[in-house]
Amino acid sequence: MGLLRPQEKKLLNIVVCMKSVPDTTAEKRLLPDGTLDRAAVSPVINPWDEFAIEEALRIREGGDGSGEIVLLCMGPENSAETIRKGLAMGADRAVLVTDPALHGSDYWATGQVLASALKGIQADLIMFGSLSSDGGGGVVYNIVAELLGLPALTWLTEVEVKDGKARGKRASDIGYDVVEAPLLAIVSVTQTAHEPRYPSLPGIMKAKKKEIATMTTGDLGIDASTVGLAGARTTVTGSERPQTARAKQVIKAEDPLSTAKAIADFLEQRKLI
Amino acid sequence: MATNNDVWAVIETDNNGKPKKLGLELTSLAAQTAREYGGQAGAIVIGPQEAAQAVGQYGATQVFYCADPQCKSDPVGPAAAVIASLISQHNPRLVLLPATSLGRDWTGRLVGKLGLGVEADVTELTVDNGKATTVTPAFNGALRVSSQFTNEGEQTGLVMVRPGTATAQKSEGAAANVQEVPVPSDAKPGMTVMESVAEKGGVPDLAGAQTIVAAGRGVGGADNLGEVRDLADALGGAVAATRAIVDMGWIPYAYQVGQTGKTVRPKLYIAVGISGEIQHKVGMQTSGTIIAINKDPNAPIFQFCDLGVVGDLHQVVPALTEEIRKRRGMG
Ligand SMILES: Cc1cc2nc3c(=O)[nH]c(=O)nc-3n(C[C@H](O)[C@H](O)[C@H](O)COP(=O)(O)OP(=O)(O)OC[C@H]3O[C@@H](n4cnc5c(N)ncnc54)[C@H](O)[C@@H]3O)c2cc1C
Ligand SMILES: Nc1ncnc2c1ncn2[C@@H]1O[C@H](COP(=O)(O)O)[C@@H](O)[C@H]1O
């Protein structure tokens, strides 16, 4: 397999897979082919992936500060805008896989593309967010893990790298599990205690000169007919805005007791108590 | 390889080896869906034999289970190999998986192994003219998207189903055939659990909760969360939170509802001292009934609630708790 491990163990190279997603606050609509009209909304880094970038930067800062952090993104050309933000946060360079043939790719195709691209990048740790905010299923990192034959620590609320191992906390039904895997490993994080940093002005200036290498399916040796809408195993047959006809009945709380009675009456009417 | 007409459910078990409620819902949904196809319902239980027998009462005719301790020390790798090998041997038409973190982990592994298609976060599953249609609240509930598998019948389709999509119903039929299956020798490692730690206050089950009382910054401090907890207790519901109060350390992340927290769909959601910013809204807007208590009449939450109460939560919440206790005869 082409994943290259550095010989010098102190050097920890990290790849962060980040998706460029439409801003949550934007109105979304689907194109006639059932895919999201991505051109109509400004893209942002998937919020979950911002935490992955932040944790990658902290892992490097907690070590000897060496090693490379590479962002990997599959998406339309305008993903470069959001990648720049990740570079401004402190990542060193980026790989953007962009190809019209990838439009409408399903999870399997996304996994294939990311796994193929990862084979060409030197890494000890491959980080992901745990969910993409634009209709993600939280499945891509395990597809990649399976294709590359790697362990995966997923849904981590805390992550550290020590003695050639990745380790972290994963929420359980009773609290949390401490989970571990030897490097080279895949890690996906949730929101962590570390608010993703804002790019500094020098960071933004430096990011302008950092490399974003673009690749196509051809460069990765992927047959374009197996990915994108053409290869997708699922197809959208319709979409509608949900009926959110809320009653929006507003009352002013005058005295607590009669307010409480009014709320309780409302609950009884709706058979909720 | 063409599929048959069977529909399967994959079931997680809890710490006591009992099948999780969502798993029972999936089993009943599998039974109902298999009937439409004229096939049989099956189930795969990752857990002990007793759990498999319990699942058998919810409409599955065939229940496979894997009780191998490997599935505990590594919750992902061995179980995914078990499920993949059963799918390859039997070719069911659809496999329903829980839309939980572990269910998503298994699903990813299955896609990597078998190249299957996935419908994620499904809240409705119907069969028309022999073809399954799923509905997913996409973009955090901003749209309802229906989709189908392009190759249904030729390749097994994976459907990740959210809690509350179906009701778990015991069936009258004959007892299920229960069969143990081993972890295949080609199972790949996922992760190793070094230690399981119990959190003192327990962990909320927000995804499965019917009633949620959620607290925001307006509550005013960690010490005041008791008011919210009392109301939740009186209603038999769970407590949840906004990111604002998670960030302030008033409550753990496990309680957070919203874009980078949990997505919930209870019958009743009471938002206490919550402004209703979009990142919170996307995690709870598909709830049944939404009640908001906020002192600011211009708070955005009043734009998407069923009942809005403009007032001081410190007055309203304790009075409401009292009133509910009274009406529910909790003295
Ligand atoms: C990338 C990203 C992801 C995010 N993810 C999430 C997420 O997952 N979940 C989430 O919740 N947020 C999330 N947020 C944050 C979100 O934008 C809001 O900041 C947050 O939801 C606000 O929380 P709040 O309503 O508790 O606080 P505020 O917005 O501060 O609202 C407090 C409310 O309490 C009311 N109030 C004050 N005192 C009283 C009183 N005595 N009685 C009655 N009412 C009172 C006020 O009028 C106010 O409306 C995210 C933000 C970003 C940028
Ligand atoms: N197109 C993509 N490019 C790069 N990373 C991605 C892409 N899609 C998904 N990911 C990664 O996989 C994670 C889970 O995505 P998903 O399975 O779509 O919910 C995200 O948080 C990203 O880290």
Determine the straight-line distance between the first and last CA of chain A, rounded to whole angstroms.
60
Looking at the DSSP bridge assignments, the partners of residue B256 are B241
For residue A138, which ligand has an atom nearest its CA?
2
The CA distance from A243 to A251, in Å, is 23
A37 has pLDDT over 90 = no
Residues of A in contact with B145 (CB under 8 A): 30, 34, 135, 236, 238-239
Residues of A in contact with B205 (CB under 8 A): 173
Q: Which residue has the higher pLDDT, A25 or B70?
A: B70
- Whether ligand 2 lies within 6 angstroms of the CB of A102 is answered as no
Q: Which value does ipTM take for this structure? A: 0.95
Cβ partners under 8 Å of residue A205, min gap 6: none
Cβ partners under 8 Å of residue B211, min gap 6: A272, B232, B235, B236, B237, B238, B266, B267, B268, B269, B270
- Cα B241 to ligand 1 centroid, rounded to whole Å: 9
- Cα A18 to ligand 2 centroid, rounded to whole Å: 6
From residue B54, give the alpha-carbon distance in Å to each of A95, B35, B170: 50, 21, 10
| CB within 8 Å: A247 and B306 | yes
| CB within 8 Å: B117 and A108 | yes
- Cα B280 to ligand 1 centroid, rounded to whole Å: 7
| CB within 8 Å: B311 and A250 | no
Looking at the CA of residue B220, tell me the nearest atom of ligand 1.
Answer: 38
Work out the number of other CB atoms within 10 angstroms of the CB of residue A224.
15
- Cα A177 to ligand 2 centroid, rounded to whole Å: 24
* pLDDT tens string A200-248: 999 999 999 999 999 999 999 999 999 999 999 999 999 888 776 898 9
- Cα B291 to ligand 1 centroid, rounded to whole Å: 16
* pLDDT tens string A77-136: 999 999 999 999 999 999 999 999 999 999 999 999 999 999 999 999 999 999 998 878
- Closest residue of chain A to B255, computed from CA coordinates: A171
| CB within 8 Å: B323 and A234 | no
Looking at the CA of residue B217, tell me the nearest atom of ligand 1.
Answer: 26
DSSP code at position A103: T
| CB within 8 Å: A142 and B112 | yes
Taking alpha carbons only, the member of B188, B303, B200, B283 closest to residue B240 is B283
Instruction: Tell me the shortest Cα–Cα distance from B175 to chain A, in angstroms.
Output: 30
Q: What is the pLDDT of residue A10?
A: 65
Residue from A77, A130, A132, A191 to probe ligand 2 pocket by mutation (most atoms less than 8 Å from CB):
A132
Q: What is the pLDDT of residue B331?
A: 64
Sheet holding B131-138, edge to edge: A234-240, B143-149, B131-138, B124-128
| CB within 8 Å: A235 and B160 | no
The CA distance from A83 to A104, in Å, is 20
Identity at B258, one-letter amino acid code = G
Q: Mean pLDDT in chain A? A: 92
- Asked if residues A76 and A127 have their Cβ atoms less than 8 Å apart, the reply is no
- Whether ligand 2 lies within 6 angstroms of the CB of A76 is answered as no
How many CB pairs below 8 A link A and B?
A: 291
Work out the number of other CB atoms within 10 angstroms of the CB of residue B144.
18
pLDDT less than 50: residues of chain B: none
The CA distance from B75 to A172, in Å, is 11
Q: Which residues line ligand 1 (CB under 6 A)?
A: A 47; B 216-218, 242-245, 256-261, 273-275, 277, 279-280, 283, 293-296, 299, 312-314
Q: What is the pLDDT of residue B143?
A: 82
Residues of B in contact with A143 (CB under 8 A): 108-109, 111-112
Looking at the CA of residue A17, tell me the nearest atom of ligand 2.
Answer: 5
* pLDDT tens string B12-56: 999 999 999 999 999 999 999 999 999 999 999 999 999 999 999
Task: Choose the closest CB to A260 out of B108, B254, B316.
Answer: B316
Q: What is the 3-state secondary structure (H, E, C) of chain B?
A: CCCCCCEEEEEEECCCCCECHHHHHHHHHHHHHHHHHCCCEEEEEECCHHHHHHHHHHCCCEEEEECCCHHHHCCCHHHHHHHHHHHHHHCCCEEEEECCHHHHHHHHHHHHHHCCEEEEEECEEEEECCEEEEEEEECCCCEEEEEEECCECCECEEEEECCCCCCCCCCCCCCCEEEECCCCCCCCCCCEEEEEEECCCCCCCCCCCCEEEEECHHHCCHHHHHHHHHHHHHHCCEEEECHHHHHCCCCCHHHEECCCCECCCCCEEEEECCCCCHHHHCCCCCCCEEEEEECCCCCHHHHCCCEEEECCHHHHHHHHHHHHHHHCCCC
DSSP code at position A183: S
* Inter-helix orientation angle B77-90/B101-114, to 10°: 50
* pLDDT tens string B94-127: 999 999 999 999 999 999 999 999 999 999 999 9
Cβ partners under 8 Å of residue B143, min gap 6: A28, A29, A30, A239, A240, A241, A242, B137
Q: Which of A38-42, A98-102, A148-152, B298-302 has the lowest mean pLDDT?
A: A38-42
Predicted model pTM: 0.95
- Asked if residues A101 and A109 have their Cβ atoms less than 8 Å apart, the reply is no
| CB within 8 Å: A240 and B143 | yes
Mean pLDDT score, A159-164: 94
| CB within 8 Å: A142 and B109 | yes
